[in-house]
Amino acid sequence: MPVIDSLEKYKGNTFMVELSDGETIFLNIETVMKFNLKKGIDIPDEAVLEIKHTDQLRKARERALYLLDYRDYCFVELYKKLEANYDEEVCLEVLNWLCENGLVNDRRYATRLGEKLVVTKGFGYYRAKQEMLMKGLDRELVEEVLSEYEEDTLSRLEELVDKKYLHKITDEKSLDRVKNALVRQGYTYSDVNAVFSLYEFDFDE
């Protein structure tokens, strides 16, 4: 059972704790006060593990809240951010706490992201789906969110062509380039051809 040989302020709200077994740990003042740590007291090995876990949990929670101050995250995306510095148990505990308190909500995140990708960026279904899956969102949830935009695909595509691509079309080659660009944006060839059937092009030979 190690004894606290030294407990001194390190910097800011961090204290340096030196144990008799040679281990040195750095703890936030909140953790020191919570466990009433003082020089000279004995600490069972299992208590040392609990103290470390509590301090890591606090740090991970603060880090998560800091990240969420700047933008929204889905569960998997934020987990990947945290796992670089904290172990799996701590990450999951923090993420579950955030979900329980409504600070992380995959459905809300997916809804906002879907609107941004489809409406703001003009992505087609397949490109938007790929981008959302890469964030770690559940496939069923992604498909459900994007299904709301399927009915208006052709009208959005026509608007996109008018606004961004029509002026670039001067011959057959440029028309093909535009069509391919739209396919890369996530639209199907059939939808792209359906929209371009609405236009009449008179290219010089």
pTM: 0.83
d(CA 205, CA 192): 24
pLDDT for residue 100? 96
136's tokens:
């770690």
Query: Coil, helix or strand for 163?
Result: helix
Residues 131-142: tens digit of each pLDDT: 999 999 999 999
**Region 158-164 average pLDDT:** 92
pLDDT for residue 75? 97
What one-character DSSP code corresponds to residue 186? T
Residues 73-89: tens digit of each pLDDT: 999 999 999 999 999 99
pLDDT for residue 62? 95
Count the neighbouring beta carbons within 10 Å of the beta carbon of residue 91: 22
pLDDT for residue 204? 66
pLDDT for residue 202? 76
Beta bridge partners of 3: 42
CB 18 within 8 A of CB 4: yes
**Is the alpha carbon torsion for 62, 66, 67, 71 positive or negative?**
positive
Residues 23-53: tens digit of each pLDDT: 899 999 999 999 999 999 898 889 999 999 9
What is the chain's mean pLDDT, rounded?
A: 93
47, amino acid identity: A
Residues 6+ apart with CB under 8 A from 100: none
